[in-house]
Structure 1
Amino acid sequence: MIELAGSDIGRWLAGYLWVFFRIGALLMTMPVIGTQLLPMRIRLYLALALTALVAPQIAEVPQLDPLALGTWVVIAEQILIGAAMGFLLQLLFQIHVLAGQIIAMQMGLGFASMNDPAMGISVAVVGQVFTMLVTLLFLALNGHLVAIEVLVESFTTLPIGETLQAVGFHTLVLRFSWVMASALLIGLPAVTALLIVNLSFGVMMRAAPQLNIFSVGFPLTLVFGLFILWVLLGNTAGQYHLLASEALIWLREMVGAR
């Protein structure tokens, strides 16, 4: 008959519990998997499956004591690490959402919004087009697998129970400027082209005041904006590759992975 002591059971549960909290926090916040497109039950099953694969590879973990304050501190640390990694990946998607919003405002489609099934909010149609395209690129280039690989490596670079001084959470604050600059860089060609169109309409209105430029200018601006958007989509893959490379490099730097 096999006899298990209380300490053995606590050590076994702790080995899986700490890992589950970090993995679950990432899967609940990262793009695609952490959105409303994937049911909560599927995310939970996926977190349990990854925990069952990763936990046996981790040697030393803190003892589990539900009544100790240190236990809840470790739980908070694991959730914070996983959520920070998922939030950094979310910034990559928000760049394209913001770029689509900027382009939509310039081409007269700022009022045309639709519900985003992933986030559960209303976004511009152009922003939703960019979001769907980036989602397909993220899955096609195995971005989700790279994120899980970095997560598994983080258990070596950031062992469970150690302090979070080595984690680069301060980089998240600096990335907001990166989001704005990258979104403007993506939308700058369309904004410049539409600005030239609007200036041309202004000159025409100045030269011929009797011409009802508003009834003609809005449809032309919309059609020309769609043409510019079609041209921009051809270079989206290259821009995404550069931005995704930067985001994944910063993700590795955050957890100290190589």
Structure 2
Amino acid sequence: MQTIIDYFSTIPSSHRSLILVGGITIFWLIENAFPLFNFKYKRWHHAGINIFFTLTTIIVNFCLAFILLNVADWAYQNNFGILQWLPEMPIAAYTIIGLLLLDLIGAYLVHLVEHKVKFLWGFHLIHHTDTWIDTTSANRHHPGESVIRFVFTTLGVVLVGSPMWLVFLYQTLSVVATQFNHANIALPKKVDLFLSYFIVSPDMHKVHHHYVMPYTDSNYGNIFSIWDRLFGTFKVLPREEIVYGVDTHMHPEEHNELKNLLKIPFQKKK
């Protein structure tokens, strides 16, 4: 465990980039070999749009990283946050509790709020307009949403009282988890069901991308599935019945053109 702590305490930016690129590449190859759906689309055009948003997400987080570093350092140095107030425990338990809490605030909560607050939904909507969900869809976030998510991540870090090594570990797991549960892969149904009791599996998350309510407003989790089950936002839909997208933006000119996607938050809502 100490080896993990030491590594993530000083993880180079190049390693974090390699994990991001490597994850997309691996899941891209797997979904090409074992696809859930055989999409009829211009794959590189679709990937190009999603990679553009991935790059803007990286840029936003890089530019604001100093805030996260300072907040994490302040919380840890001042013994502020849930982890600092808990009794001494084994480092493994400390890590699991920290990851669960960071996932609750930095993933589940912000996702729920984005669906419930109309102004924020305008930014998150870009993610839901994708009608061909694959691993490149994982970071299809408007730059404005990247800022919103950064704010919640920072809030999570200070409330949890997380040291920076735990933040880096959480962010790494979060990246891999979202690439995995967006990937266009077909796990055996029993395997997917088993995984969904612990983590957000591909079938579980893809219900969230079904084009109509109430499924769109369900399964908000990213790493752990416990929060959806605990707060009653967990739903099931057979994979064969899933239709990707959102019913307000089903035309290609609405969901498959970069210029329009960037403008969506500022357009009159349908």
Q: Smaller-chain TM-score range?
A: under 0.3
TM-score (norm 1): 0.27
Which structure shows the bigger proportion of residues in helix conformation?
A: 1
Structure number with bigger Rg: 1
The structure with higher relative contact order (CA 8 Å, sep 6+) is 2
